[in-house]
């Protein structure tokens, strides 16, 4: 882990993917430099901003002004906010919109928004004109530490979330931490779960640093840029090793098998946001690991205590509006990670910062663990 830099210095994290390598630039107030950075990267390129109504209200003007000041042609497509936008219908209108805006090879689509806008705009860029380049300007904490990095783009299917998509890396990511000042606190907390995940899965020192500094991060001090940079470096390193998730990248799924089951059981509604489900899922993954005697209970308790301290759910009883049955959860777990002869793949931990992939967890063991948890609430 590195020491925090001076707050005025943008931090640059490179995603080392050979000819598809790109920079993630992190800093407060960076949106103002969007135009200049794009002009330097791609002189003469035209752009199209894809955003949603909430983000547009707060930040579209500033993005346009920056592009305009750099003499860059731009337009905008403003989507209705929310996960429902990740659909064939919206994808179609987005692709048509990109073509209508005369965005050609060499031009750039700019995804200005959270993970929904990033996933949609990235996928639309991947398939329009057989592949246009795009820039991510993530405006949620989840976007800045997770969805804007790594090139996964997708829409949802009736068969499940993110099942139709492509790997398509952006050419630049600009993470302006000031944009998070307008994010609803609950969304910020949900993104924090994914940020804490990097400490929990591979960096104990970072987790300890978060325990000491999370308040400053939430308040918008320099701790925020530092934590986002550490997270991006962690994800970039994993993605560089395993771009297409054939091995190591699966570590990023810590907390996601349990988390997705609860998220799906709540109908992907605002009863449980994705990051909240992941907080609960990570707490359960650590607890499950203690049951397998992989780590001392005190260590799992530390995980739960920290996530709870920032206001994230860590217990099944924290879920608003009723709890699913074991059968429902097991069906969802099975769908998420395809059971192979009664065996499930899980990310477990030998301690904070020491997660690993287990390919052969017995479904019956997971079921009895969940039954116990449900009975206790």
Ligand X SMILES: NC(=O)c1ccc[n+]([C@@H]2O[C@H](COP(=O)([O-])OP(=O)(O)OC[C@H]3O[C@@H](n4cnc5c(N)ncnc54)[C@H](O)[C@@H]3O)[C@@H](O)[C@H]2O)c1
Active site residues: 130, 152, 194, 235, 245, 249, 253, 256, 260, 274
Could you say whether residue 56 binds ligand X (CB under 6 A)? no
Could you say whether residue 31 binds ligand X (CB under 6 A)? no
Residues that bind ligand X (rule: CB under 6 A) add up to a total of: 28
Could you say whether residue 146 binds ligand X (CB under 6 A)? yes
Could you say whether residue 290 binds ligand X (CB under 6 A)? no
Q: Which of 10, 35, 113, 170 binds ligand X (CB under 6 A)?
A: 113
Q: Which of 8, 14, 84, 182 binds ligand X (CB under 6 A)?
A: 182
CA 306 from chain centre, in angstroms, equals 20
Residue nearest to ligand X (CB): 115
Could you say whether residue 150 binds ligand X (CB under 6 A)? yes
**59-98 footprint of ligand X as x/- string (CB under 6 A):** ----------------------x-x--x------------
SS3 106: coil
Could you say whether residue 58 binds ligand X (CB under 6 A)? yes
Q: Within 308-337, which residues bind ligand X (CB under 6 A)?
A: none
The CA angle 349-323-288, to the nearest 5 degrees, is: 15
Helices (H), the chain: 34-41, 53-55, 61-69, 88-100, 115-127, 141-142, 185-202, 204-219, 222-241, 256-265, 274-291, 297-309, 326-336, 363-376
Q: Which of 66, 74, 139, 169 binds ligand X (CB under 6 A)?
A: 139
Under 8 Å between Cβ of 339 and 307: no
Could you say whether residue 168 binds ligand X (CB under 6 A)? no
Under 8 Å between Cβ of 300 and 336: no
Query: Alpha-carbon distance 119 to 88, whole Å?
Result: 13
Query: Alpha-carbon distance 311 to 329, whole Å?
Result: 24
Under 8 Å between Cβ of 355 and 289: no
Q: Which of 15, 72, 116, 272 binds ligand X (CB under 6 A)?
A: 116
Side by side, the strands of the sheet bearing 172-176 are: 11-15, 22-27, 172-176, 133-138, 108-113, 47-52, 76-79
Residues at the contact surface with ligand X, assessed by CB under 6 A? 52, 54-55, 58, 81, 83, 86, 113-117, 119, 139-140, 142-143, 146-147, 150, 152, 161-162, 179, 182-183, 187, 274
């Amino acid at each position: 882990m590195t020491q925090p830099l001076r707050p005025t210095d943008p931090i640059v994290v490179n995603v080392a993917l050979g000819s598809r390598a790109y920079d993630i630039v992190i800093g407060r107030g960076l949106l103002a430099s969007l135009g200049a950075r794009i002009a330097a990267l791609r002189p003469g390129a035209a752009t199209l901003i894809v955003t949603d109504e909430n983000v547009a209200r707060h930040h579209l003007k500033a993005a346009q002004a920056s592009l305009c000041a750099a003499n860059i042609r731009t337009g905008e497509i403003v989507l209705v906010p929310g996960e429902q936008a990740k659909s064939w219908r919206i994808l179609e209108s987005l692709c048509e919109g990109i073509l209508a805006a005369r965005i050609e090879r060499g031009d750039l689509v700019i995804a200005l928004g959270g993970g929904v806008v990033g996933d949609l705009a990235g996928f639309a860029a991947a398939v329009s004109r057989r592949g246009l380049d795009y820039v991510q300007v993530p405006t949620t904490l989840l976007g800045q530490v997770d969805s804007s990095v790594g090139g996964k783009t997708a829409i949802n299917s009736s068969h499940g979330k993110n099942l139709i998509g492509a790997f398509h890396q952006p050419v630049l990511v600009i993470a302006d931490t000031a944009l998070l000042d307008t994010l609803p606190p609950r969304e910020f907390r949900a993104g924090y779960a994914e940020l804490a995940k990097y400490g929990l899965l591979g960096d104990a020192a970072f987790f300890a640093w978060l325990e000491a500094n999370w308040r400053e991060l939430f308040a918008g001090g320099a701790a925020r840029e530092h934590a986002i940079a550490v997270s991006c470096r962690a994800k970039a390193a994993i993605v560089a090793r395993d771009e297409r998730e054939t091995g190591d990248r699966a570590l990023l799924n810590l907390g996601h098998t349990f988390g997705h089951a609860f998220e799906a059981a709540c109908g992907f509604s605002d009863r449980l946001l994705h990051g909240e489900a992941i907080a609960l899922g990570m707490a359960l993954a650590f607890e499950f690991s203690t049951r397998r005697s992989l780590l001392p209970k005190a260590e799992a308790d530390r995980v739960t205590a920290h996530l709870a301290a920032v206001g994230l759910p860590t217990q099944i009883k924290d879920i608003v509006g009723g709890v699913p049955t074991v059968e429902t959860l097991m069906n969802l777990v099975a769908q998420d990670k395809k059971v192979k002869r009664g065996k499930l793949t899980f990310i477990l931990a030998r301690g904070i910062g020491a997660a690993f992939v287990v390919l052969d967890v017995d479904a019956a063991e997971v079921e009895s663990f969940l039954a116990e948890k449900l009975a206790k609430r």
